[in-house]
Chain A
Amino acid sequence: GDSVTQMEGPVTLSEEAFLTINCTYTATGYPSLFWYVQYPGEGLQLLLKATKADDKGSNKGFEATYRKETTSFHLEKGSVQVSDSAVYFCAPHNTDKLIFGTGTRLQVFP
């Protein structure tokens, strides 16, 4: 079945450091790809999306590129802030459902 593999956390960074969170997936067909973020005590929020190969999704300084040949959708940010501390979920969307990984916790220290 469809599945997602994310790098294990927590990822601990100092403010202004570069962030990469790896995500690879297996899916039948041609899924749309999403990153969701869950801040402490809050629900899931859409961060960015890409719907076809080589599309780049971006939002709030975060970027991810749909790589069909490597079935990957890695999340990057050039300079993280303390307020970016949260759990990040990569999620392909195939047919009717989102498939979530276990999430990657990011902790940013000043």
Chain B
Amino acid sequence: GAGVSQSPRYKVAKRGQDVALRCDPISGHVSLFWYQQALGQGPEFLTYFQNEAQLDKSGLPSDRFFAERPEGSVSTLKIQRTQQEDSAVYLCASSLVGQGGQPQHFGDGTRLSIL
């Protein structure tokens, strides 16, 4: 498809397990973003890539969260030793460039539930 693709759509894990969430951006989009959306809240910024470079990771809540985009296309958000407060929808977005008036295009998200 032409949109941002995220997988899996749903992920259930036990507390303490590691998880990996995948994002496939729109072809040709230079910039890629990860957001976390808790239930009933707006999305909150986690991290931003321009090509393969991670230019901003100020929103990552702890060192258990790690993101990569090694070839400047697909990105993976990894959460180690998951905790219940990590339960949320994780949204990926891409845009042609990261700054200015370029809109970000969002995937449908991965709903993560930690038991």
In the complex, whether B100 has a CB less than 8 A from a CB of chain A is yes
Which has the most chain A C-beta neighbours within 10 Å: B31, B42, B43?
Answer: B42
- The number of residues on chain B lying at the interface, defined by a beta carbon within 8 Å of a beta carbon of chain A, is 26
Nearest Cβ distance between residue A55 and chain B, in whole angstroms? 9
Residues of chain A having any CB pair with chain B under 8 Å: 4, 32, 34, 36, 42-46, 49, 51, 89, 91, 93, 95-103
Assess the B101–A44 pair: CB atoms within 8 A.
Answer: no
Nearest Cβ distance between residue A34 and chain B, in whole angstroms? 7
Assess the A43–B42 pair: CB atoms within 8 A.
Answer: no
Assess the A98–B98 pair: CB atoms within 8 A.
Answer: no
Residues of B within 8 A of A103 (CB): 41-42
Nearest Cβ distance between residue A105 and chain B, in whole angstroms? 9
Assess the A49–B45 pair: CB atoms within 8 A.
Answer: no
In the complex, whether B18 has a CB less than 8 A from a CB of chain A is no
Interface stretch among B60-68, B71-79, B102-110?
B102-110
Assess the B43–A49 pair: CB atoms within 8 A.
Answer: no
Residues of B within 8 A of A4 (CB): 42
